[in-house]
Structure 1
Amino acid sequence: MILVGAIVQVYLPWYTMGMAFGIISYLLLLPSRSAFVVGGGAGFILWALAAIWMDKQFPSTLPGRMAQLLPLGGSVMALYLLTGVFGGLTGALWSWAGSKLRGSH
């Protein structure tokens, strides 16, 4: 899921990662609970690592300023984790929905 998510996000909008996860869960007949956990983990890893990689490749003051603006105490690492949480939720919900299309329990 991480590999497919990374490929589609290079060329398509952010939400296509979730759609790809849903399609994968549907095609692989993943049970709902497994799809939710695997999709959530893959989304978290993908988005958190992408945030860290982009910050290292293209240094900017924006992550630090966003960490100050949000209630994160100025921690850029907390911002990366928060980004991963949103990616994880996106991946988990789409994967769960894809598994539910098949009627998996």
Structure 2
Amino acid sequence: MEEWGIANKVTCMVTDGAPNMVACVRELKLRHHICIAHTLNLIVKKALDQQPVLSGIRAKARKLVGFFKSSTTAEEKLTQVQHHLGMANMKLMEEVEPDGTAHI
């Protein structure tokens, strides 16, 4: 933090609860708070995973998004259909795990 000139400006870090992040903050001797949004996301994901019907829907949605993400032709066609229907041009989003990895 000294290298960036922020050593006296940072008083607290907000991270996920991963052990490496907790150790990092402890090493830096800063106050630490676990991100509530991240925690809520983990709770919702765990609840969804316990419902087989919802797990199936999520798997199908990931497959559908993966199809559009892997085909520029399909993505262009989706944009054209949205325009034709008078809809806003919206992009499909991949489900992202808390560790930052995307699921297609």
TM-score, normalization by structure 1: 0.30
TM-score normalised per structure 2: 0.30
Query: Which structure dedicates a bigger proportion of its chain to strand?
Result: 2
Larger Rg: 2
**Greater helix share, structure number:** 1
